[in-house]
Structure 1
Amino acid sequence: MTDYEIAELVDAFYELRNGPDLFNDIATFHGQFFNFVATADPTRRDLHFNLPNEPEREIFLAWHRQVVFELEQAVQDINPEISIGYWNSTIYQSPTDAVWDEGFLGSFDANWDLNRNLGGDPRLPTPLELSNLLTETDFFEFSNVLERQNVHRGGHVWTGGVMPTPISPRDPIFFFHHSFVDKVWQDWEETHGTSAYITTSMLRYDGTYVFDGQTYPSVDPNDITDSRVYGVFYAENGLAQLDNYIVTNTYNPEEIFYYQYNIEAGNNFLVPAGAIARLESVNEINLTPGFEAAPGSTFQATIDTENNVAGKIAPLFAKNRAVNPYPYSEKLYEPIVWEEGGNLLDDDTIILTAAPNPFTEKITIKLSERKDCVIEVFNMMGMQIREESFENTDTMVIKNLYGLASGFYVIRVTDANGKILVVKRIVKM
């Protein structure tokens, strides 16, 4: 992150503790619904440790993707150019790394009574642990290992303080850590393409939760298995690759993609008529084949030549960084007991992939096992526009889709008895 992004992001974090206090609200919710034993009360839902025994309750990766997006949206209401970065804990493993500087996330430790103990527990993940994790082929097995072992738990226990407790979102590093966990999931999904949940609802994001007078919309975890849904592209090795995305301005009146690194936009990155988007890089922007800014759209590609100039870094809330501005005083939760996860017990889950997604003229559907099944395609108004039957196969091709209008569609797969096996949302270009 640039000095400009860091200064503005830190100021925004302090500002979010004013008034309704989003940090405390997320942390309190996370603590209240952290983990329940299903056998004690099977009606209670929770956020953690549902695998391997309770796959029907599992929402770990999708919920944390949504909560990071929630905080990022609040940050962007303050400054639309800034985003939540990710802490790659397989590389940055020292208490002297820049992320812990007083000008970055260091000041929050004393000011918010976080009681960090950096490196007190040494279990940060190794690059080999990460690469081994990415070879898992079953989504629930991948999610279970990720959650319980060092790629996820390491950042919590290594940081110490509130991080290895159910109220870990009180520490801003929680969101940098879970951005990294989310990137790991996105990397896995781009390789395997089989992320799918049994449940279609998530706590906090079920259409009933209210914060600061706003009722949060309902979010189906199966609708956010690709980070592109929220316009999130993780840059690494000096490059941000933006592809397979349609600018909609659903969440921001202008979609801004600001990166310290080079930006490469193409391969079905579309700014349709009426949409507003801006690419801004400190270094270089390349528009490659497949990029389109349609007539009637508003699009800019700019180089930030003012970055790190004193006039641009204008902290909005630096005055709030005085001694202990927003301390947490109540007793901390007890630390989490981390347990290694075993193999999955439920092998009946059907996993569906649909490629290409977005599609143009045809789409290939693959199941994780051979089935007699019916494939139905619906538009977003619920109208069935295609139905085809297949026997004893795990691969089905639906052709002649070029006449469909661009937009979102839903694929539903049912077995020979009419039981719904899986539902997946797809995009027509």
Structure 2
Amino acid sequence: MAVRKNQADLTAAEKRRLIDALLQLKRDGRYDTFVRTHNAFIMSDTDTGDRVGHRSPSFLPWHRRFLIEFEQALQSVDASVTVPYWDWTVDRTPAASLWAADFLGGTGRSRDGQVMDGPFAFEAANWPVNVRVDGRTYLRRALGAAVAQLPTRAEVDGVLAMATYDMAPWNSASDGFRNHLEGWRGVNLHNRVHVWVGGQMATGASPNDPVFWMHHAFVDKLWSQWQARHPRSPYLPAAGTRDVVDLHDTMRPWNNVTPADMLDHTRYYTYDTAA
């Protein structure tokens, strides 16, 4: 059983194996396939139309499946690798260990956002940005430039206390746990982190930045904590809606995956015992 660890607890060898697996997926083209998939869905998911990956109840099960498939791709390169999570309530500054040159590299330079150090820097020649929102082919970041503060533990706890998973109108105007975690309502959790990192993370092509996976692993961990805290609060909607994914509806792009299939993550992985 795969165990997802806090990125801050990875050993130097575990970091190196993860980086090597990421670089291999980039070389063989599989990494960019994930970027294209995410970008296509974020562009097509709208508040008033068919929505699957974002702005909708299936945001959490969709990304759970997306991470599982990515983790399986990493493990096809190195079976020991799992997707670590970034607890942004603790590792809150550009000086945090994940931004070190021996791991993800740091923020971008001021004039164009280009990441200049680490294995994913343009100068390292290993990480061309092929799925682009503009003409720039290098990884970009602007840590803390667009929004000053990452979410706090108190803000997370407030969202985890919400007892209802989701509710009509089942989009970015909805109340409930899902939308507050996704960040369209309230204290803005998930969305705020994307904007804090900046660069490609603030676009639909956000998986271009490997921190995307660590961010979403933590979002998924928070969902698992909410599920444990509210065992009688089901995924909603159960049935009968239009334009969103009901409990037993298929989630595109998969032909046989429903939200119900994604409710028990322990079939695939567990998280370490850190809070």
TM-score by length of 2: 0.73
Which residue of the other structure, out of 220, 223, 226, is the alignment partner of 1:182?
A: 220
Q: Give the Cα separation in 2 of the matches to 1:47 and 1:185.
A: 15
Shift of 1:38: 5.7
- Asked whether the equivalents of residues 165 and 236 of structure 2 are also in contact (C-alpha less than 8 Å), the reply is no
Residue 162 of structure 1, CA deviation: 0.5
Local SS of the residue matching 1:25: helix
What amino acid is the match of 2:177? F
Q: Aligned residue for 1:128?
A: 154
Cα root mean square deviation, aligned: 1.7
**What's the CA shift for 1:46?**
3.6
Correspondences of 1:84-99 after superposition (within 5 Å): 84-99=83-98
Structure 1 segments of 4+ aligned residues over 6 angstroms from their partners: none
2:194 is aligned with 1:156: yes
User: Does 1:27 pair with 2:40?
Assistant: no
Q: Deviations over 1:17-48 (max 9, x none)?
A: 122x2221111111112143364xx4x44421
How many residues matched?
A: 215
Aligned partner of 1:48 in structure 2 is 54
Distance 2:177 2:39 in 1: 24
SS of residue paired to 1:105: coil
Aligned counterparts of 2:121 and 2:215: Cα–Cα separation in 1: 16
The aligned counterpart of 2:112 is: none
Residue 5 in structure 1 maps to residue 14 in structure 2: yes
Task: Write out per-residue CA displacement over residues 380-416 of structure 1, whole angstroms, 9 at most, x where no aligned residue.
Answer: xxxxxxxxxxxxxxxxxxxxxxxxxxxxxxxxxxxxx
Equivalence for 1:145: 180
Task: Tell me which residue corresponds to 2:59.
Answer: 60
| Structure 2 residue aligned with 1:221 | 259
- State the alpha-carbon separation in 2 of the partners of residues 36 and 184 from structure 1: 23
Looking at structure 2, the residues matched to 177 and 37 of structure 1 have their Cα atoms a distance apart, in angstroms, of: 22
Q: Does 1:202 align with 2:251?
A: yes
Q: Distance in 1 between matches of 2:90 and 2:189?
A: 12
Distance 1:69 1:81 in 2: 15
Give matches, 1:370-381, under 5 Å.
Answer: none
Alpha-carbon distance between aligned partners in 2 of 1:16 and 1:204, rounded to the nearest angstrom: 20
In structure 2, C-alpha distance between the alignment counterparts of 1:184 and 1:177, rounded to whole Å: 11
Q: Distance in 2 between matches of 1:91 and 1:37?
A: 32
Structure 2 counterpart of 1:85, which letter? Answer: P
Q: Taking structure 1 as reference, are residues 102 and 195 closer, same or farther at Cα in structure 2, changes over 3 Å only?
A: farther
Q: State the structure with more CA Rg.
A: 1
Change (3 A) 1:45 1:92: same
* Alignment CA distance shift 1:138-1:6 (3 Å): same
CA offsets per residue over residues 114-156 of structure 1, 9 Å max, x none?
2101111224101110110111000111001100153211220
The amino acid across from 2:30 in the alignment is L
Match of 1:36 in 2: 45
Q: Which amino acid is the alignment partner of residue 132 of structure 1? A: G
Normalised by the size of structure 1, how large is the TM-score?
Answer: 0.48
Instruction: Quote the Cα distance in structure 2 between the aligned partners of 1:38 and 1:124.
Output: 26
Supply the AA of the counterpart residue of 2:235. A
Q: CA deviation at 1:235?
A: 3.1
Q: How many Å apart are 1:236 and its aligned residue? A: 0.8
Q: 1:22 to 1:38 in 2, by over 3 A?
A: same
The equivalent residue for 1:115 is: 140
Query: Runs of 5+ in structure 2 lacking a partner?
Result: 1-9, 106-117, 129-137, 167-175, 238-245
Structure scoring higher RCO (CA < 8 A, sep ≥ 6) equals 2
2:71 aligned with 1:72? yes
Q: Distance in 1 between matches of 2:215 and 2:45?
A: 23
- In the TM superposition, residue 184 of structure 1 has moved relative to its aligned partner by 0.3
2:103 corresponds to: 104
The CA distance in 2 between the partners of 1:150 and 1:31, in whole Å, is 21
Contact 2:52/2:59 (<8 A) preserved: no
Residue 170 of structure 1, CA deviation = 1.1
Q: State the 1:225 CA deviation.
A: 1.3
Q: Which one-letter code corresponds to 1:13 in the other structure?
A: L
List per-residue Cα deviations over 1:336-362 (Å, max 9, x = no partner): xxxxxxxxxxxxxxxxxxxxxxxxxxx
